[in-house]
Amino acid sequence: MKIDKNRKVVQDLVHSAPAASLVADAQISNLREIATLWAGYGSIICVDLKLSKEREDQGKRRFILKVINPPQAELSDGGQGPDEGHLRKLLSYWVEANFYGGLGRSLLNSSICGPHSSISTLHSALNASLPSSQKNHALSQDERSSIQAILLDDIRDVGFPHLAEEMRGTLNQDQTKAALRWLAHFHAHFAGYLPSQPSDECPPPLKAWSKSSSSSSWNGNGVWQIGGYSYVETRLTELEQIPDNSIWARLGVKGDLAYAIDWSLAEGSPSGMAGQTLIHGDVKSANLAFSQDGHRAAAYDFQFVGRGVGVTDLAKFLTTSVSAAAMNKQGEDALLRYYHDQFISAVKAEPEPLWTRTGDTTTSLLESRRAASEYSYEDFLVHWDLAVLSWQRFQAGWGAWGNVQWTQTRAKQILERPGWSAAVLQRWRNRTEQAEQ
């Protein structure tokens, strides 16, 4: 999308609520594109605003504008239905705006997150691709190419001037620990998370599209039903792309085991499993920023935020963004224990949820947070194995990157444990049969 067209989008956002009270009468002094969105779905633009009235802080403000203007995509592939990837991308930006404008705001009042990390503040969002409430059909054909836009603080101006993406390479030890602290505090803040109502969660793309699916009653609010960049129900195309003659297909991760593994990570959601929380969904060095001294971290790009277990974030982060040497046997355990200790301490420091609406704090939710404070390292490691396998299953179909040798070796070790796969499958099948009765 051209800069001159973006100027109109910015002007509309700046003068809309809630941004209007912050930057009333602001004038755009400069626009420059600093990145493009994945697969040509839009642009990330740095916006310099000049305030016409004197402010206590400064006369100029810098913001980040994310403009989502997807290319024309075929509505179906040979009569087989809508494109999963296209739907997922559109829904992900909608979810991101929801998070910044809703649940994410609670982090600003958190005693455990405030001193250690931050996220950008949402000032305005233009979500033109979905109506505010949907029944039986999350995306209409005509809405799929509409423009979305999100206006955010520039995270570099709120204490995190160094973007890991600009520094290149893997993170050093201080940066790795800073990122793990951010994750632990974020997960602890949302420990026990459940939506106010089931319709406040975005289902997987094809279920959101389906008129007949029971999951299609999403009202357009909230975050992903199950978060994560590689969640199998949102990556059916990649699952199908795993070569039939590959070791991963032979070890079962192209079949029912793929669903059983991800179900095992998510199935505790209704019962308040100790590790259940809200996950970022796409934690990697390219989505992190650091303080001047490198001891504090913050994350951005919340397109895949949703319910899950914290190790799902850890699996992607540790297998893509730290050095292979840091993931040797002793290193792996040290990093996992560091995160786990930080998580437990943070949950105990914030016993009551700050992200619920007034009156929504129930006894069961408080019990879930107490259970989170007792999340044992042994249970944590069980979830870690599942998360590593879920990430490797995605890479087997999408393409490998990061600490490939470590990830593949670790995944094979887990799958080759006597009886491990059979036990996971049996538990999943038993619960599936119970649900059908």
Tens digits of per-residue pLDDT, 109-165?
787 776 444 567 666 666 554 433 333 334 444 444 456 888 888 888 888 998 887
Share above pLDDT 90 across residues of the chain, in percent, rounded to a whole number: 45
pLDDT at 76 over 50: no
Q: Pick the range with the lowest mean pLDDT from 44-53, 223-232, 245-254.
A: 44-53
Which pLDDT score is estimated for 157? Answer: 85
Q: CA neighbours within 13 Å on the CB side: how many for 256?
A: 10
**Domains by residue range for the chain, with CATH:** 1-101+122-157 (no CATH), 161-194+226-437 (3.90.1200)
By residue count, the chain amounts to: 437
The pLDDT confidence band at residue 304, using thresholds 50, 70 and 90, is: very high
Q: Which of 422, 208, 399 is nearest to 320 (CA)?
A: 399
Q: In whole angstroms, give the CA distance from residue 344 to residue 364.
A: 19
Which pLDDT score is estimated for 148? Answer: 81
pLDDT at 381 over 80: yes
Which pLDDT score is estimated for 268? Answer: 47
Q: Pick the range with the lowest mean pLDDT from 231-245, 260-274, 286-300.
A: 260-274
Count CB neighbours of 302 within 10 A: 25
Q: Which tokens go with 233?
A: 């129900």
Which pLDDT score is estimated for 2? Answer: 60
Q: In whole angstroms, give the CA distance from residue 19 to residue 123.
A: 5
In angstroms, what is the C-alpha Rg of the chain?
Answer: 21
pLDDT at 211 over 90: no
